[in-house]
A and B are shown apart, each in its own frame.
Chain A
Amino acid sequence: MLKINQLISGYGSVQILNGANMKVEKQSIVALLGGNGTGKSTILRAASGLIRSWKGTIEFNGEQIQNLPAHEIVGRGLVQVTQGKDVFPAMSVTENLKLGGFILKSKQQLSDNLEKVYNYFPRLNERKDQLAATLSGGELQMLCIGRGLMSNPKMIMLDEPSAALAPQIVLDIFKNINRIRQDGLTVLVVEQNVRMALLLADYGYVIKDGVINVEGDSKKLMYDESVKESYLGGTKANV
């Protein structure tokens, strides 16, 4: 579905990605793991068109999409879900969700998708007339995912859905991500919470210094010594 090939990109003159390769199969959940400043979010930003790709290709559904304007990439069905803090705080929950469906042409489809999102996250339905600024952290994350689902995407890319949330809520959100996959979407999750992400995902990539360092089946990655050492932590000191 999504194929990233020798991607080189960065901000201004600072090169962050040094030739990253990735592949996301249809209807799978893929986790992209890595510490701070390794280029996880940069891959997402390049894929969704917020920054230019300097070199390399990004293929989505067999078409090259690198350096298309961001709104056209959304139109093709590849949507990035931002972290929970990136909502429009002065708008109501419904307005936020309607913005997610901005590219939809028909009103019928918009209301259908609203129903669908409220079905995934009944909590949002309870809060639909509240300003987004008054929501809790978990509700904000739900709102962001819901907004991503509004435009009928084929694939969503989640940027740290577990950031700064309580474990119970993370579990809840991850269950919903699994449900979204079962309904036919492809999911790419960027995470720092390695254990949770690998439990959820089918396949994992570990990025380090702008290149993919380790990749493999998520069950395998979980017991991989190098991953354990660098990201799960504590193997040697705690023994």
Chain B
Amino acid sequence: MWRFYGRRFLANRLALAGASVLLFLGLAAVGAPVLSRTDPNQQRLTERLMPPSVHHLLGTDDLGRDVAARMLHGGRVSLRVGLVAVGISVIIGTWVGVTAGFFGGWVDGLLMRVVDIMLCFPTLFLILMVIAFLDPSLWTVMTVIGMTSWPGLARLVRGETLSLRERDFVWAARGLGLSAPRIVLVHLLPNLVVPILVSATLGVGSAILTESALSFLGLGVQPPMASWGNILTSGKDYLHVAWWLSVFPGVAILVTVLALNLLGEGLRDVLDPRS
């Protein structure tokens, strides 16, 4: 069966392109310390705002730090934020969705009202509010993004669970007297993997965007740690003299999020049996 999906995936060029870009970015992020010997926080004030050259492939920033090194290390931050935040969001979202969908009744009603309330808030403002009370740091950002992005997934999972719950194999499992946790873990979850995977892939992209926005506003990753968002912020102050400071992180964010979206869409097309 997996070979079948594999073939369908390889035939989907856009998904393949997205996956290749992500593989490349992933390798670059993992290998950042090896790929770039330059310390991303090393300041050389005699070499401020140097345009891209052989010495500094992507130029230097306002404190003479190597932009290429900062981009690589920033990529680690962005991908880590994306993965951890989505991990948190998947765990909460799946748990809430399955519980609501499987048990129904007042449990469903209560959980879905919570989801409705969460969805009422504009997420970015909710995050800004929470971060204003906590000290901004990488962990705060990841946790807060994760904790605020699960309601959409919870709804999706609940919907899928509602339809799975009425399927024959679940009735059979119930008939055999299996416990609820066993039915959920063994019979429901494997059937939920596909929608969760697709939604998570898209979620990573939006988490990376949120992190960039927060760092741009100065509430994300704190200096001197690099992230694409805060490189972009410092670029904004030098738009008139140093285009490379804004263009490279901007393009990096664009390409990454685009690749994740292509991959997510592709996975849905490939894995959806109805297509």
Q: Do A and B bind?
A: no
Q: Could you tell me which A residues sit within 8 Å of B by CB distance?
A: none
